[in-house]
Amino acid sequence: GGGSNLVVSDAGFPGTVVHVASEGIDLRAGANGTVRVRASAGVEWDALVARCVAEGLSGVECLSGIPGRVGSTPIQNVGAYGQDVSETVVEVLVHDRAAGAMRVLGNADCAFSYRDSAFKGTDRYVVCEVVFELTRSDLSRPVRYAELARTLGVEPGGRVPLADARAAVLRLRRGKGMVLDPADPDTRSAGSFFTNPLLDPDAFTELRKRVAERLGPDVEPPGYPEPDGRVKTSAAWLIDRAGFAKGHGTGPARISSKHTLALTNPGGASTADLLALAREVRAGVAEAFGVTLVNEPVMVGVALDG
C-alpha cells in the first residue's frame, strides 16, 4: 500500500516485500442508482476518491487526502470524518497464499471492525482488487462528523455537494498535517498513531471518574456510543489532557505541532526514537486515565510492548 501505515524496525525486515503497482479502474452500473467501482490494488487511493467525486459518485468523499493505495484500504478498514470503507466495499479479490489460489471475499467475509479486518495481522492474503458500491448523486452521504459539519456550515446529517465535502476534508486534514507535503515536517508520520479507545460501559464510567478527579467535576471525556454497547472516546483528547502538548518530544521524534495523534519525524529520527515517544505517551495516558492506547500503524519487526 505504499508503506504509509507501517512502522518498520531499524534492523529492517527479513523477508520479501511486494510492491503492488497494478493500475486500472472500471465503473459499471449497479441496481437502484448505484455504481460498482472496481479498482486495482495499486491505484493511488486519493486519485480514486477524486475520480469518484468528479464522476458524481457518493460514498468515499470524506476519505479524501488519505495517502496509500486502494489495496491497503480494506486491510485497515480505512476511515475518517465519519466514513469507513467497510460501508462501500462489496468485494475484495485476493490471492490466498494458504490455498495457492485467487478468491473473492464479500463484505461479510472481510470481518470489518473499527480499523481492523480479516486481512490485518496476517500475511495470508494479498489484496489484488477492491470493488466499491457507490451511489450516483451530486450530494455527499449524510455528514456525520461534527467537526466536518461545522466546517461545511450544516447540521450533522446534512448533505452537501460532493466537491464541497472533499474540499472541506482536505482543508481539515492539511490543518492537521495529514496531507503529504514535503515542505511540512508535520506530515512525516504514519498518520494517527493511536486508535480511539473503545470502552465497555464500566471502563467508560471509570474514565469519567478519573477525568473528574484530575480535571475537575465539570469536565466530561468525549463519549460516542457504539452499536455493540461500547463507548468510543478520543485518543487525541486523552493525550492532550494527560499533559502531552502539540510539539512535545525530548528526542528526534516529536508529536506533531498540529495534531496530538500524529507522531512525526522532523528529521533524523529512528524507529527506536519513534517508539520511545509512543511508549512515553501511552504510559502517561494509562497513568492519568487508566486507558491503554493501541497503535494504529502495523508494526513490522517491532512492537509497542517490546
Question: Which active-site residues does the annotation give?
Answer: 115, 192, 296
Q: What does 275-302 look like in DSSP terms, one character per residue?
A: HHHHHHHHHHHHHHHS----B-SEEES-
Query: Which amino acid is it at 216?
Result: G
Dihedral Cα 64, 67, 69, 71, nearest 10 deg: -80
Cβ(82)–Cβ(160) below 8 Å: no
Per DSSP, the three-state class of 224 is strand
Nearest to 266 by CA among 192, 185, 193: 185
Grid cell for residue 122: 496476517
Query: Which amino acid is it at 295?
Result: N
Query: Which amino acid is it at 225?
Result: P
- Residues in the chain, overall count: 306
Nearest to 18 by CA among 98, 126, 130: 126
Query: Which amino acid is it at 182?
Result: P
